[in-house]
Amino acid sequence: MSNANTQPVQLDHGFPRAGEQVKEINLVKPNTGHCRGLSLKDVLSFEVNALTVLLPRITVPAMTAQDVLALELMDTLKIAEAITNFLAPTEPSQAALTK
């Protein structure tokens, strides 16, 4: 599963699921609905509580909040970097061009 709206993330340590260790997840590009109730500033600052809400909404296989909290720090940073890549602008917006 890989296209402009998904991104695979290889995890070094992963998390347990059904007696196995999940070492790859796919992130779905978040939309406004996925981010409801969250501060985008918190998401982009890798605030753990924000990630525990967002990641269950945008991961395949779906992570639980407990899965997120149990991740090794480097795996969390890999996931956060992938989220940032989705949210970073790829082109200047029209508003930025008129300033």
pLDDT tens profile 79-99: 999 998 887 766 665 555 565
pTM: 0.82
Strands of 20-28's sheet in order across: 6-17, 20-28, 59-60
Q: What is the C-alpha to C-alpha distance for residues 25 and 37, in angstroms, rounded to an integer?
A: 24
> 3-state class of 84 per DSSP?
helix
**Could you tell me if 12 and 76 are in contact, meaning their C-beta atoms sit under 8 angstroms apart?**
no
14-72 pLDDT tens trace: 999 999 999 999 999 999 999 999 998 998 888 999 999 999 999 999 999 999 999 99
